[in-house]
Structure 1
Amino acid sequence: MESTATDDLASLAASFPLLVYDHGEQPDNSHTLFSVADGSSRTCRVPELRSSRCACLETPCGLVLVADSTSSQCSLWNPQTGEKIALPALDRALPEYCRCLLSDTVSSPDCLVLINDVTQLELLFCHVRGGEEGSAWVSQPYDLGYYTVPESHSAPTRKEICNMAAVQGKFYYFMETVDEVGVLSLARDPEPRLEMSSFGATMPRFDGHAATLGATMSYLLESSQELFLVCLFFLGCNFERVEEVAAYKMDFSKKEWCKVTDIGDRAFLLGPHSFAASCSAGKHGLKRGCVYFAFDFFGVTNDIHIFDLREGTRELTGPDQDVPLPARQMFWMVPVCP
């Protein structure tokens, strides 16, 4: 294993996508960067990742949202080039549990940055490129109702948006049930806001012979301007083994999830907190048509599961054993979309 210290992520641009392992708190925290393409690992001390003032949120398009809690400055950082795009000031700290997505490529005049605050049931968004709408962040609360729980339970719990993907300028997510897909689209009447709509689409079920099917982990993602769903099916309550992995593409004309085993020259990258992204397999040295799943329920391994959708095979990879377990959950840094 190559293990060298660096503070220049641009020198590692050819090794993306990277899995980032965070090993501690200030002032001595460091990160291990593992390239799933070539199997190399490097110790990283990048200012954007180490600063106690800055919080970073990875996005499926590769850019990283960097928010400075002291100055309120906010930007989109390209870790492959070091370039930054200034955003409106953010006058609050980033929530502990949130996700960040871009509605389109940053070159699009209508591209939005969206922060989904899971704990406060609130959406924050702004325009990437100037104009009147780009002068400030807009806060928009939402209400999807309550989870259905037995009467014996105490206070009801509100439903939150956890699983979301951006495709061609719109954000898609699961509504009150997983058999309904929600849509967020920009509206101006006259102030900018996110308009919520939905359509029915039955969630795929495990079609295996076992009757003890337990949990299903579902990931929404964009790939080649299409909306995909990846499901990981588990048997019983055993989260140590994935029984089956399947991918589905949304047929918008039929409002139907259609199972696919051929995703072309793409690789799907899945991680904690419903993070899901797609990139070219051939260009970045990955296995074509595979799902890379980097998440350990119990926090005891650094394993990365690779599932071949066409062949139905699986394998394990990951950094060498001398890489300590991360203090916080790993996260992906993926190649930046042009």
Structure 2
Amino acid sequence: MVAGGDIGALENMIICPTARGFMLARDPISLSTFLWSSQTRLKIELPPLGLDVDDDLLIQCNCLLSDKPTAPGCVVLLAQPDAPLIWFCHVGDSQWEKYEYDIGTMALPDWDPPEEKVVICPITACRGKFYFNSNTTSLDVIDFCGGLAAPVFGSIAVEDTIGECHAKVFLVESRDQLYMVRLLGVNASEPYHGATVHRMDFSKRQWCAVDDLGGCTFLLSIYEFGASFSGDGRCGLRQDCVYFPDRHRKTLQVFNVKDGSTELQKLDEAPAVSDRAFWVLPSNL
């Protein structure tokens, strides 16, 4: 929840960020829901989002926009991080739709039960579609097919150009291109020792390694959130770098894609609630 300060319509709202700079906001009492741009103060009304998505869950969800929210047919999608559920609506709809999907199960040999359903994570929107759960040989996709009410799930076979390794994966859209960022690490108790970035070549159906981000900056955050910033030197962010805050160790890691260097910055003064922090980006209409 955001409280106080010069935050306009976000005061006392439960919010969830999007990679397009808009924030999804819901009044915890009236349940009125809208998209809000902190840059332009533009407010776009959405249908009320019910309490089957409670406050804590809403903060953790991935919220994505298929296009600029002022564009005809823009889809707003919420992906729950711990269950095979999504909620979606088109801007201008009268209600949200809840959709339970089944994209397979994963083995958990030391758990009871020994398997659970695969969930959508990570996910990003690119060119009007939603791409998720990328691996070395496939890329899954959700398409609303020109405004149809129900989502269509599919998968794209991808040529294996990466190889397996222990990595945390993020998907990022930047300038209408789809990227996959992998933070490399041996175990969860240590900081990541590096990062690789690949761009999807849809014509060849393969991930292509890149050694720059076209001057942009990639901002990663908890719950597999990834966004691209213009990287023009504003806000002290460096071009062609990937930023990742580690809430557990109160650190900020910066990975330079051009020279492969890694920098670890201590955030000892970060508040106790910093595990709910996220990037606030400018919205571009």
> TM-score w.r.t. structure 1 length?
0.75
Q: CA distance change for structure 1 residues 73 and 47 in 2, over 3 Å: closer, same or farther?
A: closer
1:240-286 CA-partner distances (Å, limit 9, x unpaired): 23222110000001110000012112000011100000011116342
The equivalent position to 1:221 in structure 2, one of 164, 172, 178, is 172
Aligned to 2:29: 70
* Whole-Å separation in 1 of the counterparts to 2:274 and 2:244: 19
The residue type paired with residue 288 of structure 1 is Q
* Whole-Å separation in 2 of the counterparts to 1:269 and 1:238: 20
Aligned to 1:185: 143
Aligned to 2:88: 125
Q: CA distance change for structure 1 residues 153 and 294 in 2, over 3 Å: closer, same or farther?
A: closer
The equivalent position to 1:200 in structure 2, one of 141, 157, 175, is 157
Contact 1:266 1:281 in 2 (8 A): yes
1:331 paired with 2:282, answer no
1:304: Cα distance to partner? 1.3
1:203: Cα distance to partner? 7.0
Mapping of 1:1-338 within 5 angstroms?
7-9=5-7, 48=10, 51=12, 54-95=13-54, 96=57, 97-128=60-91, 130=92, 134-150=93-109, 153-155=111-113, 156-174=115-133, 179-187=137-145, 192-201=149-158, 202=160, 204-205=162-163, 215-235=166-186, 237=187, 239-282=189-232, 284=234, 285-296=236-247, 299-301=248-250, 303-317=251-265, 321-326=268-273, 328-338=275-285
1:336: Cα distance to partner? 1.4
The residue type paired with residue 61 of structure 1 is R
Answer 1 or 2: higher relative contact order, Cα 8 Å, separation at least 6. Answer: 1
1:33-92 CA-partner distances (Å, limit 9, x unpaired): xxxxxxxxxxxxx7725x2xx321011111110112322211001122333110112223
Secondary structure of the residue aligned to 1:328 is helix
Percent identity between the aligned chains? Answer: 30
The residue type paired with residue 48 of structure 1 is L
Q: CA distance change for structure 1 residues 308 and 158 in 2, over 3 Å: closer, same or farther?
A: same
> TM-score w.r.t. structure 2 length?
0.88
Aligned to 1:15: none
* Whole-Å separation in 2 of the counterparts to 1:6 and 1:69: 16
Contact 2:161 2:208 in 1 (8 A): no
* Whole-Å separation in 2 of the counterparts to 1:68 and 1:179: 42
Q: CA distance change for structure 1 residues 120 and 104 in 2, over 3 Å: closer, same or farther?
A: same
* Whole-Å separation in 1 of the counterparts to 2:129 and 2:104: 22
Contact 1:67 1:94 in 2 (8 A): no
1:98: Cα distance to partner? 1.5
1:259-318 CA-partner distances (Å, limit 9, x unpaired): 00121120000111000000111163421111111123xx242x2111110111222346
Contact 1:102 1:113 in 2 (8 A): yes
1:89-112 CA-partner distances (Å, limit 9, x unpaired): 222353414210101111210211
Provide the aligned C-alpha RMSD in A.
2.4
Secondary structure of the residue aligned to 2:283 is coil
